[in-house]
């Protein structure tokens, strides 16, 4: 029991669970065979018409679906390395909340501003970037955090610029995940590093909720206008 407790406390358990779950679902996709677009829709891709029809779970399921080996490989690398960093700073359950709620935030923004069907953990991966930027903004006086934040900020900007010049990438999902991760990290706080002012946490929570409501309203309006 003591070993299990130490493993739970010291290892990036939640990162391993999320990565294992993502890879496991991809293997199921691979076993199901061809007809990728139709299969993605069946398994739960972000599909605006289906969401309006009542399938709200499609804000969550796209986080765990991928279109191909390259797609999942790129996201798996980010999940692993960023997940370890965020889990060490925020803890197991806060990492899970940032990952899932940030991914949902990305899919909500995509629902509002993009008509395309989409899948991928990129929304959640960008939420991890957002959480790290929140730590950098809140604890800028720490030289180690400041240095790491500068590197991750550059990596985030490079990824967004790459999105602008690439086809088939849901940039709104990435932006939504990034902003969502930033706000969710403020909302949850980082007790392992230091205290976040209560006012900042309250404001972040209010902004997140209002943003979700506004984006959902836009998304439902846009779909109804095109039907």
Taking a C-beta distance cutoff of 8 angstroms, is the pair 204, 187 a contact? yes
Give the burial class of 102: count Cβ atoms within 10 A of its Cβ; 0-12 exposed, 13-18 middle, 19 or more buried. buried
Instruction: Say which of 66, 138, 174, 211 is annotated catalytic.
Output: 174
- Residue in 170, 82, 72 with CA at minimum distance from that of residue 125: 82
- Active-site residue (options: 122, 138, 166, 211): 122
Query: 3-state class of 194 per DSSP?
Result: strand
Pick from 68, 69, 71, 93: which is nearest to 15 by CA?
93
Question: DSSP secondary-structure letter at 168?
Answer: S
Q: What three-state secondary structure class fits 45?
A: coil
Distance of CA 200 to the CA centre of its chain: 21
122 is catalytic: yes
Q: Are 222 and 112 in contact (CB under 8 A)?
A: yes
Angstrom distance (rounded) from CA 179 to CA 98:
11
Annotated catalytic sites, by residue?
122, 174
């Amino acid at each position: 029991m003591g070993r299990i407790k130490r493993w739970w406390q010291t290892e990036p358990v939640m990162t391993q669970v999320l990565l294992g779950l993502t890879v496991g679902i991809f293997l199921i996709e691979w076993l199901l065979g061809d007809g990728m677009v139709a299969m993605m829709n069946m398994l739960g891709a972000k599909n605006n018409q289906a969401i309006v029809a009542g399938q709200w779970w499609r804000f969550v399921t796209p986080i765990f679906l991928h279109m191909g080996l390259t797609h999942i490989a790129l996201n798996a690398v980010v999940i692993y390395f960023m997940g370890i960093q965020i889990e060490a700073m925020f803890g197991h359950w806060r990492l899970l909340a940032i990952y899932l709620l940030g991914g949902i935030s990305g899919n909500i923004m995509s629902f509002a501003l993009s008509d395309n069907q989409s899948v991928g953990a990129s929304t959640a991966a960008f939420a991890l970037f957002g959480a790290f930027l929140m730590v950098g903004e809140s604890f800028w006086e720490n030289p180690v955090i400041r240095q790491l934040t500068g590197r991750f900020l550059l990596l985030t900007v490079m990824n967004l610029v790459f999105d602008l010049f690439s086809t088939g990438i849901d940039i709104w999902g990435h932006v939504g995940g990034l902003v969502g991760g930033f706000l969710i990290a403020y909302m949850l706080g980082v007790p392992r590093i230091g205290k976040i002012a209560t006012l900042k946490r309250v404001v972040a929570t209010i902004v997140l909720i209002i943003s979700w409501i506004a984006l959902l309203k836009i998304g439902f309006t846009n779909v109804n206008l095109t039907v």
